Homo-oligomer: A and B are copies of this chain.
Amino acid sequence: MQISQDRLDQLLQQIRPCTRNGRLASYIPELNKADPDTLGICIIDMDGNMVSSGDYETRFTIQSISKVITLIYALESYGDRLFTRIGVEQTADSFNSIIKLETRNDGKPLNPLINAGAIATTSFIVESEGREGIKNLSALLKALAKNPELKINEIVLNSEKRTGDTNRALAYFQHGQKIFDASVEDVLDAYFTMCSYEVQVKDLANIARIIANNGTDPETGEILFSSKTAKMTKTIMTTCGMYDSSGEFALSVGIPSKSGVGGGILSVVPGKYGIGTLGPALDEKGNSAAGVPLLQRLSEDYDLSIFS
């Protein structure tokens, strides 16, 4: 393991002031209760060496990072058929994007890592698997995180359900456009549930590490998903994972990543590391205000960009 504890602690110290450049998400009351100064990171290499720094024990909801799990599950189960329903292009539109920004003229959502696209991906699973779908998604999340103890934060879940009008609008609109046939409420149930799992940065690092190892658990050799799915996931994370600053993040960091409004970022350094970061203060694009510069410094110092 080349990234030393000392160096990581030092970096985290230097970057922590960036938390002040952001703001907590406010659309759910619970997200707004986080400590905005929080900054934590966990890095695990292929051999299982782990370094953590800062507030690495803090729990937070996985939010949009769960879109990666849903995508992996759907790619494994349904393959390229997924792309009959969902595109894979990035939009240059803003974080506050609504229907107009999240679908093309034909109503097909732009990509699986934005809300509209993740709802459509979830609809695929719910249509085929019904109520089992959500169980299967939960099981995959726990397996990838190597953490059977992961729990749903019920307060967040209820809050999402109660206040999720924009997601509900996205779902009804797509249903009206015949993008999917499943019950809107069942799809939203599964979608909101996956967003509400509570994790630590270590869980994100474990998930990322298996993607970095092309779907195979480096310890046990167990194949959790195919290398083709891993490759597709890394690609889509690169082009679409960081909202409408995906292009800028590719330029400054160059590590396939996915962020969530809970402040987490899951980052995959192919063949090398799985990384989880947490910094709930968000920039205006909806990405962690301190997490992004922390990853940028790591990428620069250890030459981690896939574009190097």
A binding-site residues for B, Cβ under 8 Å? 87-92, 98-101, 104, 110-111, 163-166, 168-173, 175-177, 184, 227, 231-232, 234-236, 238-240, 244-248, 250-251, 254, 256, 270, 305-308
Q: Using A87-B248, A89-B247, A99-B173 as known contacts, list a sample of 10 further A-B pairs with CB atoms less than 8 Å apart, ordered by residue number in A.
A: A89-B244, A89-B245, A90-B239, A92-B92, A166-B173, A169-B172, A227-B308, A231-B305, A235-B250, A238-B239
In the complex, which of the residues B90, B92, B104, B238 contacts A307, with contact meaning CB atoms closer than 8 Å?
A: B238
Docked pose: A170 CA to B172 CA in angstroms: 9
In the complex, which of the residues B110, B164, B176, B239 contacts A165, with contact meaning CB atoms closer than 8 Å?
A: B176
Docked pose: A119 CA to B92 CA in angstroms: 19
Chief secondary structure at chain A's binding surface: helix
Contacts known (A231-B307, A305-B231); A247 close to B251, Cβ less than 8 A: no
Q: What is the distance, in angstroms, from A237's C-beta to the closest C-beta of chain B?
A: 9
Residue pair B232, A251 in contact (C-beta under 8 Å): yes
Residue pair A238, B238 in contact (C-beta under 8 Å): yes
